[in-house]
Amino acid sequence: MNIENRRWALLGPLTVAFWVVGIIVLNHGGPAEHSTGGQILAWYKAHGDKITLGAWVFMIGCIAFVAFVAGLRGKLMDAAGGTSQLATLALVGAGMAALSGMLTAAVDLAGGIDKNDIDPATAAVFHHSTDIFFVCAELAAVLPLAAVAIVAWKTRVLPRWWAAFSGLVAVVLIVGPIGWLGLIFGLPIWTLGTSLFVLLRSPERMRAAAAAA
């Protein structure tokens, strides 16, 4: 990948924007944590269009995240001398996390679409199954953050303190009771911060870091 070409990094802020807007729209008027199936079904019926729109926007953000990490993978491979299993692992993990994220939104999307054809019990299953895919996204997100942390620390293609931050978020993600913090807050901050480092660092500093590695 040409080090001068950094336009792909714009996908980072775009990803976070899609995620934030999607979550806000999707959860508008959402049911409380321990809502009954009837309450969840009532939410689907009252906000079906917003649920569908919010879920769709969020899933587009997941696709943008994969594209962002694909561009980052090329940058990491350049820094590592053209080949890096860790860079490939980052892309694979991003794909797994994105798919899990899409499924997290897709179950409520299905409820919003099929609101007139399901009963309260089915609505409850749809809504509460988001927990399954959320946990999968937590663990899958460990791969891109840990891989980027290791390569960035070794090559200094990103600042070492940012590599340390990436590793910290990866650790938070893998610790079950607090993993949700890493996914809800850590991953968007990491995506936005990494994209800004790529966009704002001069090509000369990138080349110098890669040469010194």
Task: Go through the chain and tell me how many residues it has.
Answer: 213
pLDDT of residue 42: 96
32 occurs within a structural domain: yes
pLDDT tens string 28-64: 889 988 899 999 999 999 999 999 999 999 999 999 9
190 occurs within a structural domain: yes
| Tokens describing residue 19 | 């995620």
92 occurs within a structural domain: yes
121 occurs within a structural domain: yes
User: Is it the case that residue 90 has pLDDT exceeding 70?
Assistant: yes
Residues 14, 68: Cα–Cα separation, whole Å: 9
2 occurs within a structural domain: no
Percent of the chain with pLDDT over 70: 89
Residues 27, 147: Cα–Cα separation, whole Å: 32
Residues 158, 173: Cα–Cα separation, whole Å: 21
206 occurs within a structural domain: yes
Q: pTM for this structure?
A: 0.90
pLDDT of residue 71: 92
Number of domains in the chain: 1
- Which of 143, 195, 149, 132 is CA-nearest to residue 173? 143
pLDDT of residue 7: 85
Residue type, 140: A
Most confident of the following: 75-79, 98-102, 175-179: 98-102
- Sign of the dihedral through C-alpha 190, 59, 77, 93: positive
User: Is it the case that residue 77 has pLDDT exceeding 90?
Assistant: no
83 occurs within a structural domain: yes
Are 103 and 119 within 8 A, CB to CB? no
The whole-number average pLDDT for the span 188-196 is 97
Residues 142, 136: Cα–Cα separation, whole Å: 10
Range of the domain at 157: 7-212
User: Is it the case that residue 209 has pLDDT exceeding 90?
Assistant: no
1 occurs within a structural domain: no
**What separation, in Å, do the N-terminal and C-terminal C-alpha atoms of the chain show?**
18
Weakest-pLDDT range from 94-98, 138-142, 161-165, 197-201: 197-201
